[in-house]
Amino acid sequence: MPKYNYGCNVCNREWAQWHSMDAPSIECPHCFSKNIEKVPSNFITITKATQEKKAAKENVVDHIEENREILRNMRENAKNEDVLNND
């Protein structure tokens, strides 16, 4: 029996349900509303993977910014030391 994911438009919950192709009317197991949508299971996986990939990329950018900041501070310190030495 194929598995389907459903989302409820009333309580915004998602759940998986197994049923045959000619499914009887399905209702939300949480609030028993029939205002539900079928969610393709592949779609959820892809969306999640894309988000994780994006998050990883953002982390890399953060690290670069952090390194730039450290480098800048080191230059500032070096400059200050030069001034001290000149005195």
User: Shortest approach of Zn ion to residue 44 CB, angstroms?
Assistant: 17
Window of 21-29, 41-49, 53-61, 71-79 that interacts with Zn ion by CB under 5 A? 21-29
Residue 32 or 58 with smaller CB distance to Zn ion: 32
**Distance from C-alpha of 8 to C-alpha of 37, rounded to nearest angstrom:** 6
Residue 31 or 49 with smaller CB distance to Zn ion: 31
Among 10, 16, 23, 71, binds Zn ion (CB under 5 A): 10
* 34 near Zn ion (CB under 5 A): no
* 31 near Zn ion (CB under 5 A): yes
